[in-house]
Structure 1
């Protein structure tokens, strides 16, 4: 975890202003190109890298800027008002180091530094078509000497086509639950038995590549393992998914703010029957509800971020709760923003159409709300059991 807490406020505000100017200027030009071409150009990745936007959150010793997590989220909030693929690049590159660094040996740490700098792209490779929680992983490895032989399938893997490495999770053959899970840094270099299928034709988040991966006795050196056998879910859940869920929640806040901005602009411009839409009570109600929704979600996201930064015992349920609240809020806000545009909003020439499509992806990014509610409910019940012991527990 990033332990740097000192930050020069003037420099930080300058950085915020710089990022906002980029999002509203070059970012919008890139957004139009991504939508037109259906691809994220390599030049965009290089521009984000050269500007340092891919290494905002990592500690200085890894080559990052050392910005504390809650303050980093203020920057991600701004980036998230841009195209979803731009947000995805910034979000993922500023997060994968969290999973890798605590478990990396000296050699792997050099790879982590390259990931932080943007020299290499690492794709988080957990999701499977027939598994949903992580503990039910079906991809397996069989160890023979110094080599694992990997078998299984992954899908919905963001950057899985173009990445340099897959941060991949599997289990030792014959194990169940979290026991026997492993995390592997697998190079995307045409390994024997590895098939990469481009599955990038999506409703929204155009330009970001997504992969289906098939592995058949694909050899992976044991030296590619992060941590020990049995540490796989620790790498995945605590290192990446917990803070990443908070990041996704803040990205929902940022995109909702963009939707609200577009709705306000349109309401102030559009006239019907001699009145601006902004003068009509029903439109004012929509805008007021959106404002309250966004403000409430943002407050919870920042509380969850501080809990994570401080290793608070309720960091995990707050992480999931913030995502539940924020993505549900985003659905309501974008729906009302589109409704304010009327039929015009349904046409791709208007930015709200893209915002509306992009917003839907966050409902299942880093775990569906159904899974998040399971996490929160489990924590609530465990907390109650710990603070309200039954007679049987007391006697025990």
Structure 2
């Protein structure tokens, strides 16, 4: 098994080709993407046709290298497109974010046979892979209790996972567990668990405040058989697979999604303020509104530049990549809260009604606060890295 957890650095595509993609994705988000938004909010579901459309347009295989069937964008180039996608419905953003990221966890540890079986179909969008780490009774790290007992060439999986995005409709769960009786990082394993494995009960827990239509699952395993051949990496590397090559860039991606959604909120607020008149003047003539919009503009741009810096440093293999990833996520999340709050306030009471697009944006913005770790977790990471740097001096 490959044991490399170094980031996969790619040179990206030609600037002209990237510019064309930016134009194409922008037109899709503002056109068909808006139609999908209305349909998802009306029905409460993301239909399979949306997944098919995103796959056929190549939007699920942008970030992966060409050797895996992807477009081969650099990470910074992908972040530019992530910002645009994030102005669309949160479920659209969630699909492209997850599918364009899970290969990073699988690929460094996969054999070539596993790449053909799991990684390339995931990049192509023909197989859905759900990242299954979080458990109801503990955190999302070395304290996981979901366990396996090895008998011959089979692991028997028992335990629970919850809040698993796309865990209902997926083909495989990329699941972290531990050998029964082990503790800490030692004994953890990463398994590609088939969705139709015997011995599992799947509960759909998709009734969320925002991100309407993205399915979430609570799974209960009772000695569910998983072939040892479905293990990524070695025994003891489960958390390396789950966290090593995936979490850091994913946090940067979530941070950029905050920028995209904040820009959408800012756009809606400016458009509304330009058209809404009081005492014969548009709201944009009021200094209080001008200040809100100006603060948002500066807030969004500052967060974006930190995120792009983090993206470049991570892709270059900088030792500061982890800290910058957490810095960018905690900064962007707080920015998004301020920006959407001001945008909603500019709409006045009308913004509270579902007839206004800002109402959906405001609800969706709350999800990023816990996606890939809360800000409290990010602060712990940043302080840990700060402490390391001081100890070296």
Q: TM-score range by the shorter chain?
A: over 0.9
Aligned to 2:24: 18
d(CA) in 2 for partners of 1:121, 1:192: 19
Give the length in aligned residue pairs.
Answer: 386
Structure 2 equivalent of residue 394 of structure 1:
none
Cα displacement (A) at 1:344: 0.6
Structure 1 stretch displaced more, 5-14 or 313-322: 5-14
What aligned pairs does 1:138-149 form with structure 2 within 5 A after superposition?
138-149=145-156
Shift of 1:135: 1.1
Question: Structure 1 residue 364 and structure 2 residue 376: aligned?
Answer: no
Work out whether residues 258 and 333 of structure 2, in 8 Å CA contact, stay in contact via their aligned partners in 1: yes
1:188 and 2:195 correspond: yes
Matches within 5 A, 1:240-319: 240-319=246-325
SS at match of 2:259: helix
Structure 1 residue 7 displacement after superposition: 2.2
1:145 positional shift? 1.3
Q: Which runs of 5+ in 2 are unaligned?
A: 1-6
- 1:236 pairs, out of 238, 242, 254, with 242
Alignment of 1:102-251 (within 5 A): 102-110=108-116, 111-189=118-196, 191-251=197-257
Query: Equivalent residue for 1:7?
Result: 13
Residues in 1 aligned to 2:153 and 2:166: alpha-carbon distance in whole angstroms = 28
Provide the alpha-carbon RMSD of the alignment: 0.8
Q: Is the 8 A contact 2:12 2:77 kept in 1?
A: no
Report the alpha carbon displacement of residue 316 of structure 1 after superposing the two structures with TM.
0.5
- Matches of 1:63 and 1:13, distance apart in 2: 21
Tell me if 1:91 matches 2:97. yes
1: CA distance between counterparts of 2:30 and 2:8?
A: 29
- TM-score, normalised to structure 2, is 0.97
Q: Name segments (4+ residues, structure 1) moved above 2 Å.
A: 1-4
TM-score by length of 1: 0.96
Structure 1: runs of 5+ lacking an equivalent: 388-396
Contact 1:99-1:236 within 8 A present in 2 as well: yes
Aligned partner of 1:390 in structure 2 is none
- Helix, strand or coil: the match of 1:362? helix
| CA positional deviation for 1:4 | 2.3
Per-residue CA deviations over 1:80-121 (Å, capped at 9, x if unaligned) read 000000000000000000000000012210120000000001
Shift of 1:237: 1.1
Q: CA deviation at 1:6?
A: 4.4
The alpha-carbon deviation at position 2 of structure 1 amounts to 3.5
Q: For 1:28 and 1:182, locate their aligned partners in 2 and report how far apart those are by CA, in whole Å.
A: 41
Could you say which residue in structure 1 is the equivalent of 2:4? Answer: none
